[in-house]
Structure 1
């Protein structure tokens, strides 16, 4: 019985590792790396991206949805407190963020069809913008302290 429990725990760990490694935050971001300090201007700070990819974000759990790329779209090195990260597009987009704490944060339809997450803490934020129905779409990622 103990062997079976250990084997099940090992399989569960492998499965979680596979989900967490579905996105490769060690890759260079598709649209650049940016550094912002608390009180940055202009606020919001924006970056143009092409949303979408061929990976189903639901593999990450945490309520993630949409089609995203393997590499992050944008990397933000933030030195400050609270930061909101969102995307705007004429298409239905989603957002996936790997925070400085290593956790995954996702959103779909915060404001109409546009996603947004609000997080706290300094560090590296890796951001993917997905498309809900697949394909690609022009989008703008924004960072705001408001």
Structure 2
């Protein structure tokens, strides 16, 4: 009876320790995304303050650069996740059909972003509508970085 109690206690400690490690991993990944976003947004603000940034089109180009950097980061992280999932499926750790599901999920997400930010652009009148749409897309890219970390 005593050995069974000790085994239960040890198992509980291992589970709690593993759960705590996972929380720490999630927090560090979230912090990395926040730092990345803060850097991009600081660069965007610096771009907006440049003397040559005079028109709405110029400020839109600043937002475009920010969005493209975030989009590149999403594509890089997605490709790494896809390769990792394929490797895990090849080892038998995941069902064989999981790697094929990821491109479908990514394509669906891209369609959602296009539709959601298309609405933002359509609801914003004037010359800044394209910039609002670009910033909307940037925000979705940052959220996607977080979502990919949860896969």
TM-score normalized by the length of structure 2: 0.29
Higher helix share: 2
Greater radius of gyration (CA): 2
TM-score normalized by the length of structure 1: 0.30
Higher strand share: 1
